[in-house]
Chain A
Amino acid sequence: MIAFNKYYNHFNLLSSVLIVVSLLFLIFKGLNFGIDFKGGTLIELRASDSKINVSSLRDRFNQMDLGDVSVKKFGNDTDFLVKFENKDNKKNIIEEIKTNLDKSFGNNYDFRRVENVGPKVSAELLKSGIIAISLSLALMLIYIWIRFEWQFSLGAILALFHDVIVTLGIFSLFSLEINLSIIAAVLTIVGYSMNDTVVIFDRVRENLRKYSDIKIFELTNISINETLSRTIITSATTLLALLAIYFFGGEILKGFSLAMILGVVFGTYSSIYIANTVLVRLRVSQKTVLREDEKK
């Protein structure tokens, strides 16, 4: 048996620091919103001429008076991602750009993807993204509140917030782009983190009924160990699947799979070191469960 409970305090401290640092990043540095949420235009361009590179593209685009233009390599050497605000929401902007690029590069490039999101739509997408995440947190809260005693609910919710905040904090730290698929990833993380916590909690509750003489500090450790194989195997297979998406699923899914990978790692960690420690700190005992049983 591994003595997870020996490090409860250490890891609680670490998590608190992580959350505070993440929040500081989120407040002061903020998130790098993509055009889905900020509005603007994105062009994915593939070049068939080595003359076309980041600096020559940047030169060209800067001459077009589009405001802040960002040009980046996208995946391999011939693919580029160009983003700009398109503040005036010019109508024929793509045509203008094409005519302009034709002059310098001829026909040696190709627009593979064009996205243009107006300010109204991006504001709506941001709003519905925030609603979706809040709604999922609320639903999880209700579900767990129906299924478990309040001490458990609090533990699970704290673990959930920890996972979401730290994942977003890392996105802020590295200025990774937040787009629609990241919202999908965050929601899946919420589901996964809950799933992982609930499995351990299920065992804690079962053990609470079984053993009246073991203190919660020990009991959580027993439960974590009993479910440990499952925790490891499920996390491992999920991570294997996600790593496959990250490395082979193409550039577009990179951000999504990275967010999910972080979420799975933190979700697994928090089930053990946050959810359970809340039970310990709230001094959950056999009485907590039995009282609830009587009610039912």
Chain B
Amino acid sequence: MLYFSKLRILFITLFSVLFILIASSNLFKFDDNFFDKKINLGLDLQGGSYLLLEIDNEPVIEQKLQNLTTTIRNYFKEKNIKINNIKIENQNIFFNVIENDKQSILNVFQDENSDLNPYYPRFKSHQLEIEDTGLNFKVNFSRQGLIKLKTSSQDQAIEIVRRRVDEVGTNEPNILKRGNNRILVELPGLDDPMRIKSLLGKTANLTFRFVTNDENDRFGIEKLKFENGLEEAVVSKRIIISGENLLDAQPKMDTQTNQTIVSFTLDRVGAKRFGKATSTGIGKQLAIVLDGKIISAPVVRDTIASGSGQISGGFTFQSATDLALLLRSGALPAPLEIIEERTVGPDLGQDSINAGMIALTIGFMLVIIFMFVKYKIFGLITNVTLIVNLFILLGVLTLFEATLTLPGIAGIILTVGMAVDANVLIFERIKEELKDETNNILAFDGGYTKSRTAILDANITTLLAAIILFFMGSGPVKGFAVTLGVGIFTTLFSVYFIARLFTSIYVTKNKNKEKLI
């Protein structure tokens, strides 16, 4: 137990020095090629915003079902099957048919090669489920169908969210999927998330539609409010162009009217349709509708064939910039709701770092003084080990570029407090051994061997708690679990290698000394 080969001593020294170097790379700026890893500071320490967004898929499902009713009707019409009384209720499509057609309907829906009802061989499930009670059918999304729908709207939404966040230009945003209907947005260093929040809160569904008085409009009509909430207008449901047709949008100053406007460019399809609509609709009002509200409804005066135009609507420069940004980045497939927000200002973050460091320093000093007073030379050994342990812990965190949070700093301080435990267990055991053992070396050997199970037990229990915290905890608490868990390993390493090395050197030199400890 006391013997250390030269090779082993070399290994321990190198290992410790290496980690001390890695840890110190957080303090000094090394040449980038050499080593450029750093401990990441959590949002609670560097300041920033954490936003959890939930996608509201209800409108998407409604829309899909709406489209499906048309598809089903047309699909069977071609096969000369008449679908009667088709309607949507509580996210189910209901319809009925005559007796002779019943089987062919079921066949279409249950066919694995059906193009009406896609089959997912991997999940052994169709997109749609069909149930029949007599001649009445009920069609709705299967579990897999719903999951597919949700993940696809999540995929689209995360793309749009990324574009919008990037456009605002914050540094190193972190945008991740959570489950199948949530998106996590972390914005480090962002003091005021209001602008991003309002940008993410908008679906940005843009349509150009004619204002109409015709009650019998073929596409249906709806009454919409203006942005200011005061006026209303009746608008056709026929969409001339939508946000998808936009190539670009920019805020501009209209030199004639001195108003801020948003100018836009259309793609080829959009330009063609816009040209046609403006040529046939001269004199009519064209409503520009964003998320169900009319921004403005200018009168068409000329045919616009150039494929570019402008939106005016009493914008400030900021609101025009935001609208242009939203139009450039595209519409969200479904509305997003911010269900959790945590924002920490940078000065509070800095205060937390300072407080954490002061607490760490004071805690460390208290423990070191206590150990030295209590154990003298062995206290010194423990203290040196404790310092190296701290550096190795920081080194490991740096190596894995772990995220340090305020509770994480607490975890480091706690590790300092608990790390002496293993050494104390060993030294106390050695003391006991020395009561009936006159040979110092044998006593030390015994101390190490007999304390081993207790040390192992003690550390495994703490480790178990840390592991659960890591998997169940979120954000800052996870940071605590990381430092606590890593701390256990570095503690065991420093106790069994570094402290034992020092102890063995000391004991071998004082083989015959009485009252060693």
A binding-site residues for B, Cβ under 8 Å: 44, 91-92, 94-95, 110-118, 120-121, 125, 128-129, 131-132, 135-136, 139-140, 143, 147, 180-181, 183-184, 187-188, 190-192, 194-196, 198-199, 202-203, 226-227, 229-230, 233-234, 236-245, 247-250, 252-253, 256-257, 260
Contacts and interface: CB of A to CB of B under 8 A. Distances in A.
B388 interface: no
Given A120-B54, A191-B462, 8 more contacts: A132-B472, A188-B484, A202-B457, A241-B367, A242-B417, A247-B362, A249-B355, A253-B406
Interface stretch (B68-76, B214-222, B236-244, B335-343): B335-343
Given A113-B344, A114-B341, A143-B461, A239 B417 contact: yes
19 contacts: A113-B344, A114-B341, A114-B342, A116-B340, A116-B342, A120-B54, A121-B339, A135-B472, A143-B460, A181-B477, A183-B477, A184-B477, A191-B464, A194-B461, A239-B417, A240-B370, A244-B366, A253-B359, A260-B414
Contacts of A184: 407, 469, 473, 477, 480-481
A92 B424 CA distance: 56
Interface string B476-493: 110011001000000000
B345 interface: yes
A198 B454 contact: yes
A133 to B, nearest CB: 9
Nearest to B463: A191
B428 A230 contact: yes
Contact of A202 (B343, B420, B424, B453): B453
Q: Please name the 6 residue pairs, one residue from A and one from B, whose CB atoms are nearest each other, closest first.
A: A241-B417, A244-B363, A191-B465, A250-B355, A132-B472, A118-B339
Contacts of B410: 245, 249, 253, 256-257
Interface stretch (B94-102, B159-167, B346-354): B346-354
Interface in B353-408: 355-356, 358-360, 362-363, 366-367, 370-371, 374, 406-407
A149 to B, nearest CB: 14
A65 to B, nearest CB: 20
Given A226-B432, A248-B355, A253-B406, A120 B457 contact: no
Contacts of B355: 248-250, 253
Given A116-B338, A240-B367, A240-B370, A252 B428 contact: no
A233 B422 CA distance: 11
A187 B469 contact: yes
Nearest to B415: A241
B356 A181 contact: no
A87 B391 CA distance: 47
Contacts of A190: 465
A194 to B, nearest CB: 4
A282 to B, nearest CB: 20
A117 to B, nearest CB: 5
A131 B468 CA distance: 10
Interface string B441-457: 00000000000011001
Contacts of A260: 414
B362 A199 contact: no
- The contact size tier of chain B is 35 or more
Contacts of B417: 237-242
B194 interface: yes
B421 A132 contact: no
Contacts of B360: 244
Contact of A249 (B342, B359, B367, B473): B359
Given A116-B341, A135-B472, A236 B370 contact: yes
B466 interface: yes
A225 to B, nearest CB: 11
Given A113-B343, A114-B343, A249-B359, A95 B194 contact: yes
Contacts of A129: 472
Given A112-B347, A233-B424, A234-B420, A188 B414 contact: yes
B201 interface: yes
Contacts of A120: 54, 339
A187 B467 CA distance: 10
A252 to B, nearest CB: 6
B425 A230 contact: yes
A195 B464 CA distance: 11
B418 interface: yes
Contacts of A143: 460-461, 464
B494 to A, nearest CB: 15
A92 to B, nearest CB: 8
Contacts of A132: 468-469, 472-473
Nearest to B453: A202
A140 B461 contact: yes
B423 to A, nearest CB: 9
Nearest to B460: A143
Contact of B474 (A125, A147, A191, A253): A125
A259 to B, nearest CB: 11
Given A132-B473, A198-B454, A248-B359, A234 B465 contact: no
Contacts of A240: 363, 366-367, 370, 417
A140 B52 contact: no
A196 B355 CA distance: 29
B413 interface: yes
Given A139-B468, A234-B421, A245-B363, A180 B454 contact: no
A240 B420 CA distance: 12
B468 A136 contact: yes
A238 B413 CA distance: 9
